[in-house]
Structure 1
Amino acid sequence: MPKEGHYVNRTGWLRASVLGANDGIVSTASLLVGVIAAGMDHANVVLTGLAGLTAGAFSMAAGEYVSVSAQSDTEAADLERERRALHEDPDYELDELTAHFTDNGVQDALARQVAEQMTEHDALAAHARSELGLWEEGAADPLQAAWTSAVSFAVGAGLPLLGVLVMPTASVPMSLAVVAAMTLLALMGLGAVGAHMGGAPIRPGVLRVLFWGSVAMAVTAGVGRLFGVTMA
């Protein structure tokens, strides 16, 4: 049993989680900032935020399910082609697997021996890894991606929305400041957790999400200001 864990085994659900949470935070915060800057009353701001959370969660789930299903279908098609090739011309496939090892620095005789042993053990798995780069640990799972994205989006979207709920009587500038502060804190946390879970440096991960989140809020606030609302 290996002593070390590998972060690549987490990529399936980690990517969906980070993408969903980041989209939930940024899109909902930007939506809220835009309608607040446009002068919408508190009840409608909350309703807008809830609608954005609900629609976004279902949209993320559907989008992830469809995209990952397409990826899974493509992988399955490639595996079927490889299965047929192994059946129709096993000698060529053995030579191909041997060449893969020699190209990676293994001596010819040893490469042949390894290729033969791997073919006897599980030929399809050996070719899937060497030719297609497909590993069982990284196999696409549409349902996992769908529910992970939906839940993470909803959690992320709830954080800036919470800033609106806790200050129902705040002025426009105060509401904007609270939503922005909640959003930036949430993005900092997301960047740090995502980087840590993926074994990456934390600082670049935090700065990335802060930058793009800030840009999105600034742009939508500007759009809201185009309606000529006085910030008072």
Structure 2
Amino acid sequence: MTQPTHDEPHGGTLGSRLNWLRAAVLGANDGIVSTAGIVVGVAGATSDRSALFTAGLAGLLAGSMSMAAGEYVSVSTQLDSEKAALATERRELREQPEAELEELTELLEARGLTREVAREAAGQLTERDALRAHARVELGIDPDDLTNPWHAAWASFLSFTVGALLPLLAIVLPPSDWRLPVTVVSVLAALVVTGWVSARLGAADARRAVLRNVGGGALAMAVTYGAGALLGATGV
């Protein structure tokens, strides 16, 4: 007989991990593009290392804090919704258990089970843990693994920071004549990687994702560099 592989990830756990990994990759991608746009734009106006570092660091801190705050607010709202849905389900199970049992039966039946099997399964799930059964089948929520806004905030903060460090270091470490080409090449190479990884995680076409990612990053740097060069030439 074939034995089940207990160490193999299944179901929602794997999906949750992939979602977190995808979010981390996209956060790093945002850090790369936004910070690259800032430092390349400033480089168009001045070659002063201190000005480049100040602008890049300000962009890194502002972007990472903004990402963290936005993610915290978003996930907190999601968590509040999950808690409210669980509270409603808990009340309905207490006040109308037979109706909830019938609802669970119909949900299982809609997934392909026969009426008899669905009724039996609903009864067994209800006896074991009615709230957990309804939360997972009806609401798509795992009561033991609710979203955590602090985890999301820190993940966004760190991923954005890691991504932003690349263009920041690339613009301030090389000699003056090499700063811009090193930054552009480094950023585009990094965008190839993040585009490919995000496409693979989403089971999408990697080539198309990479082209979109690189094209968007290149356009952002071209626009900001042009604006910086124009302002630098006019002395504004």
TM-score band by shorter chain is 0.7 to 0.9
Q: Unaligned 5+ residue runs, structure 2?
A: none
The equivalent residue for 1:153 is 160
Q: Check conservation: 2:188, 2:214, Cα contact below 8 A.
A: yes
The equivalent residue for 2:113 is 106
Q: Does 1:187 align with 2:187?
A: no
The equivalent residue for 1:38 is 45
1:229 partner SS:
helix
Q: Check conservation: 2:18, 2:201, Cα contact below 8 A.
A: no
Q: Does 1:169 align with 2:173?
A: no
Distance 1:228 1:158 in 2: 25
TM-score by length of 1: 0.87
CA deviation string 1:16-57 (max 9, x = no partner): 312321111010001111111233632201110011112222
- The letter for the 1-side match of 2:189 is L
Distance 2:200 2:166 in 1: 21
The equivalent residue for 2:228 is 224
Q: Does 1:74 align with 2:78?
A: no
Distance 1:11 1:76 in 2: 23
Distance 1:75 1:199 in 2: 28
Distance 1:135 1:62 in 2: 25
RMSD value over aligned CA atoms? 2.4
More displaced stretch, 57-66 vs 2-11? 2-11
Distance 2:29 2:72 in 1: 18
Q: What does 1:192-231 correspond to in 2, within 5 Å? A: 192-196=196-200, 202-227=206-231, 229=233
Q: Name the CA shift for 1:194/1:227 in 2 (closer, same or farther; >3 Å).
A: same
TM-score by length of 2: 0.85
Distance 2:226 2:131 in 1: 56
- The letter for the 1-side match of 2:58 is A
Percent identity, aligned pairs only?
51
2:216 partner SS:
helix
- Count how many residue pairs are aligned between Structure 1 and Structure 2: 227
Deviation at 1:177? 2.3
Q: Check conservation: 2:173, 2:179, Cα contact below 8 A.
A: no
The match for 1:88 among 95, 99, 124 is 95
Distance 2:195 2:139 in 1: 31
Distance 2:19 2:132 in 1: 19
The match for 2:126 among 119, 132, 154 is 119
Deviation at 1:161? 1.1
2:174 partner SS:
coil
